[in-house]
Structure 1
Amino acid sequence: MSALLTTAITASLGLLGAAMLLTLVRLFIGPSAQDRVLALDYLYLLGMLTMLVLGIRYASDTYLEAAVLIALFGFVASFALARFLLRGEVIE
């Protein structure tokens, strides 16, 4: 792996970590429930991107599978939270 790629991966992991910290701040002190749901959506997106970058770093397919699972569960959770905020119930 080249030095440029290693530097880019390290920088991107650092920026993703900083974005996760800022998102956690919004998740905990968000003024409304909608802000918290959006922060949670962004948090799972950042987690998925982190797994993809780690998969590139370690040249492993396992990280890709984990990223797909995070995306799947994140979408289902977002759908359930949005439905709960709109109707007050998840299952009819």
Structure 2
Amino acid sequence: MLGVEAVEPGRGLADVLLGELPISQAVIELGHPWGFNLVPAEIALARVERELRTGQEFRLRDELQKLGEYHDILIDCPPSLGRLVLSALIAA
């Protein structure tokens, strides 16, 4: 999507949500004319869904607040009502 072919292992949203990587290190600058940057999601998010515990739904919001410099952020969510979607709704 958006011209990103593959995610470097250890540099995706799953790593951010598991507390293994600061979100600032996961951002990929796309050089898009509209200034889009991307924090890639990958299949490892399935692991996050299993490992996020109650009370950790705020992790995405907290990580996004650390970025600070963005006007709008688009969050691509899986088609479910699990913890990942709840986390995205809280962050919104």
TM-score strictly above 0.5: no
With normalisation by structure 2, the TM-score equals 0.29
Q: Bigger radius of gyration, 1 or 2?
A: 1
Task: State the TM-score, normalizing by the size of structure 1.
Answer: 0.29
Q: Flag the structure with higher helix content.
A: 1
